[in-house]
Protein backbone atom coordinates (compact mmCIF):
# COMPACT_ATOMS: atom_id res chain seq x y z
CA UNK A 1 0.00 0.00 0.00
CA UNK A 2 1.27 3.41 -1.01
CA UNK A 3 2.08 5.87 1.78
CA UNK A 4 -0.08 8.95 1.93
CA UNK A 5 1.20 12.37 2.91
CA UNK A 6 -1.49 14.57 4.43
CA UNK A 7 -1.10 18.32 4.14
CA UNK A 8 -2.87 21.52 5.14
CA UNK A 9 -2.78 24.86 3.36
CA UNK A 10 -3.06 28.19 5.12
CA UNK A 11 -3.62 31.25 2.93
CA UNK A 12 -3.21 34.95 3.64
CA UNK A 13 -6.48 36.48 4.83
CA UNK A 14 -6.38 39.18 2.16
CA UNK A 15 -7.11 36.33 -0.28
CA UNK A 16 -9.81 34.77 1.95
CA UNK A 17 -12.21 34.44 -0.98
CA UNK A 18 -9.67 32.53 -3.08
CA UNK A 19 -11.06 29.24 -4.31
CA UNK A 20 -7.57 27.69 -4.35
CA UNK A 21 -7.36 26.99 -8.08
CA UNK A 22 -3.66 27.73 -8.50
CA UNK A 23 -2.75 25.85 -5.31
CA UNK A 24 -4.77 22.79 -6.30
CA UNK A 25 -3.42 22.80 -9.85
CA UNK A 26 0.15 23.07 -8.56
CA UNK A 27 -0.46 20.22 -6.12
CA UNK A 28 -1.85 18.05 -8.92
CA UNK A 29 1.10 18.92 -11.21
CA UNK A 30 3.73 18.85 -8.41
CA UNK A 31 4.83 22.39 -9.28
CA UNK A 32 6.09 25.19 -7.08
CA UNK A 33 6.50 24.19 -3.46
CA UNK A 34 4.67 20.92 -4.18
CA UNK A 35 7.60 19.62 -6.23
CA UNK A 36 8.93 18.11 -2.99
CA UNK A 37 6.35 15.34 -3.38
CA UNK A 38 7.05 12.57 -5.87
CA UNK A 39 4.66 12.35 -8.82
CA UNK A 40 3.47 8.93 -7.70
CA UNK A 41 3.21 9.94 -4.02
CA UNK A 42 -0.32 10.04 -2.69
CA UNK A 43 -0.89 13.51 -1.20
CA UNK A 44 -4.15 14.35 0.50
CA UNK A 45 -5.29 17.86 1.40
CA UNK A 46 -6.94 17.67 4.83
CA UNK A 47 -7.37 21.36 5.56
CA UNK A 48 -7.57 24.72 3.80
CA UNK A 49 -8.14 28.01 5.62
CA UNK A 50 -6.85 31.54 6.02
CA UNK A 51 -4.55 32.96 8.66
CA UNK A 52 -7.34 34.98 10.27
CA UNK A 53 -5.93 38.35 9.28
CA UNK A 54 -2.97 40.25 10.64
CA UNK A 55 -1.30 39.32 12.87
CA UNK A 56 -2.50 35.79 12.07
CA UNK A 57 -4.83 34.80 14.89
CA UNK A 58 -5.89 31.61 13.14
CA UNK A 59 -2.27 30.40 13.03
CA UNK A 60 -2.65 29.52 16.68
CA UNK A 61 -5.57 27.13 16.08
CA UNK A 62 -5.82 25.99 12.44
CA UNK A 63 -2.73 23.74 12.45
CA UNK A 64 -4.11 21.88 15.47
CA UNK A 65 -7.33 21.08 13.60
CA UNK A 66 -5.36 20.03 10.52
CA UNK A 67 -3.10 17.82 12.64
CA UNK A 68 -6.19 16.12 14.12
CA UNK A 69 -7.14 15.34 10.50
CA UNK A 70 -3.74 13.75 9.96
CA UNK A 71 -1.77 16.65 8.47
CA UNK A 72 1.98 16.23 8.73
CA UNK A 73 2.92 19.27 6.66
CA UNK A 74 1.51 22.78 6.58
CA UNK A 75 2.00 24.88 3.46
CA UNK A 76 1.85 28.65 3.94
CA UNK A 77 0.41 29.68 0.57
CA UNK A 78 2.30 31.64 -2.05
CA UNK A 79 0.04 34.64 -1.38
CA UNK A 80 2.04 35.30 1.79
CA UNK A 81 5.10 36.09 -0.34
CA UNK A 82 3.58 37.63 -3.49
CA UNK A 83 1.06 39.96 -1.86
CA UNK A 84 2.12 43.52 -1.28
CA UNK A 85 3.50 43.94 1.17
CA UNK A 86 4.57 40.37 1.74
CA UNK A 87 3.53 38.94 5.09
CA UNK A 88 5.72 40.40 7.85
CA UNK A 89 4.79 37.48 10.12
CA UNK A 90 5.69 34.55 7.88
CA UNK A 91 8.87 33.68 9.77
CA UNK A 92 6.95 33.79 13.07
CA UNK A 93 4.21 31.56 11.63
CA UNK A 94 6.73 29.02 10.41
CA UNK A 95 8.57 28.86 13.74
CA UNK A 96 5.37 28.79 15.82
CA UNK A 97 3.74 25.94 13.91
CA UNK A 98 6.93 23.88 13.96
CA UNK A 99 7.49 24.45 17.67
CA UNK A 100 3.90 24.17 18.95
CA UNK A 101 2.67 21.34 16.72
CA UNK A 102 5.89 19.61 15.64
CA UNK A 103 4.86 19.85 12.01
CA UNK A 104 6.94 20.54 8.95
CA UNK A 105 6.15 23.96 7.47
CA UNK A 106 6.73 24.77 3.81
CA UNK A 107 6.55 28.35 2.61
CA UNK A 108 4.66 28.37 -0.63
CA UNK A 109 2.17 26.43 -2.70
CA UNK A 110 1.87 27.32 -6.40
CA UNK A 111 4.73 28.85 -8.40
CA UNK A 112 5.17 32.60 -8.18
CA UNK A 113 3.37 34.15 -11.16
CA UNK A 114 5.75 36.06 -13.43
CA UNK A 115 3.85 39.33 -13.02
CA UNK A 116 4.50 39.22 -9.27
CA UNK A 117 8.17 38.31 -9.74
CA UNK A 118 8.62 41.35 -11.99
CA UNK A 119 6.91 43.72 -9.56
CA UNK A 120 8.78 42.51 -6.49
CA UNK A 121 12.09 42.52 -8.40
CA UNK A 122 11.58 46.17 -9.37
CA UNK A 123 10.65 47.06 -5.80
CA UNK A 124 13.50 45.07 -4.26
CA UNK A 125 11.02 43.45 -1.89
CA UNK A 126 12.77 40.10 -1.78
CA UNK A 127 16.36 41.41 -1.86
CA UNK A 128 17.39 40.03 1.52
CA UNK A 129 18.87 36.64 2.40
CA UNK A 130 15.76 35.82 4.47
CA UNK A 131 13.34 36.51 1.60
CA UNK A 132 15.53 34.68 -0.91
CA UNK A 133 15.02 31.57 1.23
CA UNK A 134 11.27 32.20 1.57
CA UNK A 135 10.66 32.49 -2.19
CA UNK A 136 13.00 29.67 -3.26
CA UNK A 137 10.41 26.83 -3.11
CA UNK A 138 8.06 28.70 -5.46
CA UNK A 139 10.52 30.31 -7.88
CA UNK A 140 9.97 28.05 -10.86
CA UNK A 141 11.34 28.64 -14.34
CA UNK A 142 9.93 31.46 -16.46
CA UNK A 143 7.63 29.24 -18.54
CA UNK A 144 5.94 27.86 -15.45
CA UNK A 145 5.74 31.32 -13.83
CA UNK A 146 4.02 32.61 -16.99
CA UNK A 147 1.57 29.69 -16.83
CA UNK A 148 0.49 30.96 -13.40
CA UNK A 149 0.02 34.62 -14.42
Q: The domain that contains 53 carries what CATH number?
A: 3.40.50
CA distance 87 to 144: 23
Could you tell me the residue range of the domain that residue 110 belongs to?
4-147
- What pLDDT digit, counting tens, does each position of 94-146 carry? 999 999 999 999 999 999 999 999 999 999 999 999 999 999 999 999 999 99
> How do residues 65-81 score in pLDDT, each as one tens digit?
999 999 999 999 999 99
Distance separating the N- and C-terminal Cα atoms of the chain: 38
The reported pLDDT for the residue numbered 39 is 85
For 41, the enclosing helix (H) or strand (E) is none
Residue 96 neighbours by CB distance under 10 Å: 16
Domains contained in the chain, number: 1
Dist. CA 82–CA 112, nearest whole Å: 7
Amino acid sequence: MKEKTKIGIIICDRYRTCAGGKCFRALQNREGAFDIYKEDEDVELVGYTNCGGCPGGNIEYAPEEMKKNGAEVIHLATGFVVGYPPCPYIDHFQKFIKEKYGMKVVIGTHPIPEKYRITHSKLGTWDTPEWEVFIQPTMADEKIRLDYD
